[in-house]
Amino acid sequence: MNKENYIAVFDSGVGGISVLRHLVKALPSERFLYFGDSANAPYGTKTKEQVRALTFAAAEMLIKQGIKALVVACNTATSAAIEDLRKAYPKMIIIGIEPALKLAADKFPGGKLGVMATPMTLREEKFARLMERFDESCDIFKIPAPGLVELIESGKADSPETDALLRELFDPYPELDALVLGCTHYPFAAKSISRVLGDGVALLDGGDGTARETRRRLEEADLLAPASQEGYVLLQSSGNTEQFKFLAQKLLDK
């Protein structure tokens, strides 16, 4: 393993770019290889076995390119496959992302907390275990949001269509103190979400925590890139490359 190698960042599409933004800030000298599996998005409405197979295929393809760490910047893929990936690649630094429920419970003790995520993330055992740790001290509402990823993938994160979908989605729930954005696509719809819920509801996600954990793991393994190295991002996609690059660059702010 080599300090100059890429850190691979993987998601079903452009969602992981919300995590990549934090990674680039936390690790400015690193070279990132971002892979969006757009041809197979969305993952969140597939079965666990399908998502597990897609995640393994992406991980293998990225590991073959000579990377020093893999960030699974997708809550759905993390819940389907992270434990098996770590078993299959014991020497690789593999970081996953999970809904930032701990952060929300720490900030709003006893609060009403919504967790918005894909149907798969919310039905998986990994989330059940996470929820068990906090559901005695807080009121937790699971809010699956099918359809939202597709709108974000088509460049409509901040649009009347997204507002309409969210209005219907949040209608059955009581007023929340905080909403955990448990899918890496959702931070891109933050404006729409706040328009519908009101500015008083805090929106929390795991992007910053994941970037800090990646930095910590690289430091621990003495694999941080030399400070003199110029960091950059390489974008790859299994879908329409031009369309993917256009949207990814816009979301990355580059």
Query: Within 24-43, which residues bind ligand DGL (CB under 6 A)?
Result: 41-43
Ordered DSSP codes for 105-165: HHHSTT-EEEEEE-HHHHHSHHHHHHHHTTTTTSEEEEEE-TTHHHHHHTT-SSSHHHHHH
The minimum distance between CB 75 and ligand DGL, in angstroms, equals 4
Q: Is 183 a catalytic residue?
A: yes
Of the two residues 6 and 42, which places its CB atom closer to ligand DGL in the complex?
Answer: 42
The minimum distance between CB 141 and ligand DGL, in angstroms, equals 18
Query: Within 110-139, which residues bind ligand DGL (CB under 6 A)?
Result: 118, 121
Q: Quick one: which segment of 28-36, 74-82, 108-116, 201-209 binds ligand DGL (CB under 6 A)?
A: 74-82
**Helix or strand holding residue 222 (H, E):** none
Q: Do 10 and 73 touch, CB atoms closer than 8 A?
A: yes
Q: Quick one: which segment of 5-13, 127-135, 154-162, 188-196 binds ligand DGL (CB under 6 A)?
A: 5-13
101 binds ligand DGL per the rule CB under 6 A? no
Of the two residues 44 and 114, which places its CB atom closer to ligand DGL in the complex?
Answer: 44
Residue 161, phi then psi, degrees to nearest 5: -60, -45
* Distance of alpha carbon 254 from alpha carbon 252, whole angstroms: 6
Just list the catalytic residues: 74, 183
Footprint on this chain of ligand DGL (rule: CB under 6 A)? 11-13, 15, 41-44, 74-76, 118, 121, 149, 183-185
